[in-house]
């Protein structure tokens, strides 16, 4: 049976890393035990001494793998509304073969970087063949959006359901029908999604990624007004709610269901508190490199910690990021908000993501019986217990 030793082993279960221990797995990567080094002296020749640290496989809680062909197409710093316009305008510039090749390459990049599971947005069928191969574990979120047009809710629901029905998940995979964002889903469509039998065990929604989202609901002003005008969509019937967009989530989504709120770049302590009081099963997904790529802004993570929020980490897409690497996301968080310890960040990137996607029975931590993947991070600053600029992830199992 494989035995791995590293200076520190982060289990994602224990609050502190283990020193002087050996991780024991079977040949398929199932965790059998974590033992003090002296307990395996009789098997010392079998131990693989690994430089750096060991962590469970990463969980990418939010990705748009289907946009992998758009890498380097959209300039940075445009703001979310201009970014969305570019997505709509340019996503068909690459032929289908190029799209499929980019998807396969994006998945391979994630595998090589130690990612074992992905919460993936699927608005079209382009990723379905790659997912059918079972190389990574996916919870696919098929989004519906009718651009606040109640009269189109049923037609949009039918379109999203058709996409959902064509995804044939390998064993262990999951799929859900979900709303896109508070500013793009009418109350009628929210109702259809909330009562649909295929809503899914976990649901997801983009949330408070830009100040324009709050301006839209608070005052019926800002860049989203121009966006709708560009699309020729009338907002005559839309009335400002005089409340931030988090109220749309609370009023229109199901309390008690595992809910991933994605981005949360501008979420305030009041927003976080209100959402946490509404639903204890909320997971707040941060995609720091995408937030910098699009809005030049990061969430204030201290606000979430102060409210006991359950945090996860995602990469977003190659249209809005330079790579699909959870390790690079953690480096960015550590660089800009260095009060966050690696002990905390690794739980966000592993166990919390597994819990959010419903994969916690198998993934997320070095617990006996799980097959979470084993990832080496090297080099690593052992004295300060921090990532280094040159830290790299290497998946061992």
CATH number at residue 243: 3.20.20.140
- pLDDT score at 279: 97
First to last CA, the chain: 13
Distance of CA 21 to the CA centre of its chain: 31
pLDDT for residue 43: 87
For residues 92 and 12, membership in a common domain is answered with no
Provide the 3-class DSSP secondary structure of residue 184. Answer: helix
Residue 377 maps to a domain? no
Contact assessment for residue 397 and residue 31, using Cβ atoms and an 8 Å cutoff? no
Q: For residue 339, what are the domain limits?
A: 58-363
Within-domain flag for 368: no
Beta carbons of 61 and 285 less than 8 angstroms apart? yes
Q: Are residues 16 and 103 in the same domain?
A: no
Q: Is residue 99 part of a domain?
A: yes
> Is 393 within 8 Å of 374 (Cβ atoms)?
no
What's the domain count of the chain?
2
Band of residue 200 on the pLDDT scale cut at 50, 70, 90:
low
- Where residue 79 falls (left for φ over 0; alpha for ψ -120 to 50; beta otherwise) is left
Same domain, 390 and 322: no
Half-sphere exposure of 182 (CA within 13 A, CB side): 28
Asked whether 227 and 85 are in contact (CB, 8 A), the reply is: yes
Band of pLDDT at residue 199, cut at 50, 70 and 90: low
Hey, which residues does 3 pair with through a beta bridge? 24, 47
Residues 26 and 174 in one domain: no
**312 shares a domain with 246:** yes
In a shared domain, residues 69 and 32: no
In angstroms, rounded to a whole number, what is the distance separating the alpha carbons of residues 331 and 350?
15
Per-residue pLDDT, 6: 97
pLDDT score of 40: 87
Q: Do residues 283 and 174 share a domain? A: yes
Query: What percentage of the chain carries pLDDT values higher than 70?
Result: 99
pLDDT at 41: 81
**Cα 201 vs. chain centroid, distance in angstroms?**
16
Q: Report pLDDT digits (tens) over 269-304.
A: 999 999 999 999 999 999 999 999 999 999 999 999
Task: Say whether both 203 and 299 belong to one domain.
Answer: yes
**Quick check: 207 pLDDT over 70?**
yes
Percent of the chain with pLDDT over 90: 94
Does residue 280 fall inside a structural domain? yes
114 located within any domain: yes
Average pLDDT, the chain: 96
Question: pLDDT tens-digit profile of 152-182?
Answer: 999 999 999 999 999 998 999 999 999 999 9
Residues 13 and 142 in one domain: no
Residues 92 and 140 both lie in one domain: yes
Please compute the mean of the pLDDT values over residues 314-326 and round it to a whole number: 98
**The pTM of the whole model exceeds 0.95:** yes
Shared domain check, 38 and 13: yes
Average pLDDT value for residue range 188-192: 98
Please compute the mean of the pLDDT values over residues 246-257 and round it to a whole number: 95
Q: Are residues 62 and 50 in the same domain?
A: no
Q: What is the pLDDT of residue 42?
A: 82
User: How long is the chain?
Assistant: 397
DSSP string, 167-180: --PPTT-EEEEEE-
């Amino acid at each position: 049976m494989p035995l791995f030793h590293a200076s520190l082993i982060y289990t994602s279960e224990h609050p502190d890393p283990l020193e002087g221990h050996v991780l024991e797995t079977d040949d398929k990567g199932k965790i059998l035990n974590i033992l003090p080094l002296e307990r395996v002296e009789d098997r010392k020749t079998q131990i693989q001494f690994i430089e750096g640290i060991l962590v469970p496989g990463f969980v990418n809680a939010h990705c748009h793998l289907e946009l992998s062909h758009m890498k380097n197409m959209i300039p940075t710093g445009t703001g979310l509304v201009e970014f969305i316009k570019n997505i709509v305008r340019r996503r068909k510039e690459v032929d289908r073969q190029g799209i499929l090749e980019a998807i396969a390459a994006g998945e391979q990049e994630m595998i090589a970087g130690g990612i074992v599971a992905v919460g993936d947005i699927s608005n079209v069928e382009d990723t379905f063949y790659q997912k059918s191969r079972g190389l990574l574990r996916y919870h696919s979120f098929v989004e519906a959006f009718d651009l606040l047009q109640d009269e189109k809710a049923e037609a949009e629901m039918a379109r999203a359901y058709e996409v959902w029905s064509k995804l044939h998940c390998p064993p262990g995979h999951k799929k859900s029908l979900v709303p896109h964002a508070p500013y793009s889903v009418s109350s009628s469509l929210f109702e259809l999604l909330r009562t649909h039998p295929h809503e899914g065990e976990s649901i997801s929604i983009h949330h408070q990624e830009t100040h324009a989202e709050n301006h839209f609901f608070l005052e019926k002003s800002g860049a989203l007004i121009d966006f709708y005008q560009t699309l020729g969509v009338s907002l005559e019937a839309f009335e400002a709610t005089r409340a931030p967009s988090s109220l749309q989530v609370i009023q229109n989504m199901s309390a008690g269901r595992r809910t991933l709120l994605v981005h949360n770049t501008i979420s305030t302590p009041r927003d976080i508190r209100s959402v946490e009081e509404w639903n204890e099963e909320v997971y707040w997904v941060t995609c720091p490199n995408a937030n910098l790529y699009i809005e030049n802004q990061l969430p204030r993570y201290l606000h979430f910690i102060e409210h006991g929020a359950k945090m996860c980490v995602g990469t977003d897409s190659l249209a809005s990021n330079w790579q699909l690497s959870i390790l690079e996301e953690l480096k960015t968080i550590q660089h800009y908000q260095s009060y966050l310890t690696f002990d905390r960040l690794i739980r966000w990137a592993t166990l919390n993501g597994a819990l959010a996607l419903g994969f916690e029975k198998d993934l997320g931590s070095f617990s006996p019986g799980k097959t979470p993947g084993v990832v080496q991070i090297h080099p690593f600053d052992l004295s300060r217990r921090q990532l280094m600029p040159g830290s790299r992830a290497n998946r061992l199992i």
